[in-house]
């Protein structure tokens, strides 16, 4: 019954017509009522795999409404494979395993899944138990190795870290974690999706970025960055310092926007201005390439333009 309600709500979220709207309101209201008391697990088909997700998870609604959502990531991994065979991937903010399942539906490269929330982490392991070459790490990542007075709160399949005087939360640098798993010290794709903390995590991965020079595929929500006093201009300066010179911008639904050199500051200002003060309703994903991978950047740009010319 729960899956029937969930699917009925999700499948009508982006549809028009009186019947669809009625079903969406009915099942949406029922879902909201149930979530006041509990957040049970349900089975859901994600790409080639069936996984368990919380009843509150909103990922299916995004996927149903946007056919290209997240599909850019496995394509980028394939482009990387053309230059660096069998590239190792680090997935930060692995959540319930949806990214790992997505990647495994198209590619077979080794993946390290890093997730801090214990509930999501257990689901991550359960949902990816059938996958080979997956490494699991249960920790929160940050700029330095430290313990802070904070707590993690999840809502709707995602979450944030909040200051909390009576709670301790330990964070590690990605460089620290990578030293514990040496097979990933030469990872070639670093995916980060941590609701505004992405830049902090990059600053804790400086050694990895200097030595392995992975392609960085990260959520870029400048409005969430503001909430934790991070300046996105500092992030672009950080890229420049490490010779990450080329950036592809996607919208948060996976559609290609524009490719820029890091020194095209006016164009970067234009596009960041467009997404400013949107209250996280719309934002960017960015794919960032080191100067040594200009060939890979050009290949990715060319292939992505071709893909979207046929798939919009």
Q: Please give the pLDDT value at position 156.
A: 54
- Please give the structure tokens belonging to residue 203: 């600053």
For residue 301, give the nearest of 79, 24, 20 by alpha carbon: 79
Question: pLDDT over 90 for what percent of the chain?
Answer: 72
The pLDDT tens digits of the residues spanning 18-54 come to: 898 888 989 899 999 899 999 999 999 888 899 999 9
Most confident segment among 3-7, 60-64, 197-201: 197-201
Q: Please give the pLDDT value at position 153.
A: 64
The pLDDT tens digits of the residues spanning 275-297 come to: 988 877 789 999 999 999 999 99
Give pTM, 2 decimals.
0.93
3-state secondary structure of 290: strand
The answer, yes or no, to whether residue 300 has pLDDT greater than 90, is: yes
Q: Please give the pLDDT value at position 64.
A: 86
Q: Please give the pLDDT value at position 154.
A: 60
The answer, yes or no, to whether residue 157 has pLDDT greater than 70, is: no
Residues 6 or more apart in contact with residue 174 via CB below 8 angstroms: 90, 92, 114, 141, 201, 204, 205, 208
The pLDDT tens digits of the residues spanning 54-92 come to: 999 888 888 888 889 889 999 999 999 999 999 999 999
pLDDT band at 218 (very low <50, low <70, confident <90, very high): very high
- Please give the structure tokens belonging to residue 302: 């060319």
Question: pLDDT over 70 for what percent of the chain?
Answer: 94
């Amino acid at each position: 019954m729960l899956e029937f309600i969930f699917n009925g709500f999700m499948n009508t979220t982006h549809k028009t017509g009186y019947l669809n709207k009625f079903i969406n309101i009915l099942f949406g209201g029922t879902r909201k009522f149930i979530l006041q008391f509990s957040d049970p697990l349900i089975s859901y088909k994600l790409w080639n795999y069936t996984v368990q997700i919380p009843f509150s998870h909103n990922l299916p609604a995004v996927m149903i409404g946007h056919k290209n959502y997240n599909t850019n990531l496995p394509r980028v991994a394939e482009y990387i494979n053309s230059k660096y065979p069998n590239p190792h991937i680090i997935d930060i903010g692995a959540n319930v395993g949806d990214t790992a399942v997505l990647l495994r539906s198209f590619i077979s490269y080794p993946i390290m899944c890093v997730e801090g929330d214990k509930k999501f982490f257990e689901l991550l392991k359960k949902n990816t138990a059938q996958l080979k070459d997956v490494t699991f790490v249960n920790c929160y990542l940050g700029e330095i190795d430290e313990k802070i007075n904070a707590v993690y709160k999840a809502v709707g399949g995602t979450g944030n870290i909040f200051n909390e005087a009576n709670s301790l939360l330990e964070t590690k640098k990605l460089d620290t974690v990578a030293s514990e798993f040496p097979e990933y010290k030469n990872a070639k794709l670093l995916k980060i999706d941590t609701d505004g903390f992405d830049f902090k995590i990059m600053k804790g991965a400086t050694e990895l970025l200097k030595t392995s020079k992975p392609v960085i595929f990260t959520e870029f929500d400048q409005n969430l960055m503001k909430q934790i006093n991070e300046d996105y201009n500092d992030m672009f300066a950080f890229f420049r310092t490490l010779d990450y010179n080329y950036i592809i911008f996607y919208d948060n639904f996976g559609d290609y926007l524009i490719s820029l050199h890091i020194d095209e500051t006016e164009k970067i200002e234009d596009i960041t201005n467009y997404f400013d003060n949107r209250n996280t309703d719309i934002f960017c994903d960015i794919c960032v390439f080191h100067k040594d991978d200009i060939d890979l950047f050009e290949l990715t740009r060319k292939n992505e333009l071709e893909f979207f010319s046929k798939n919009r």
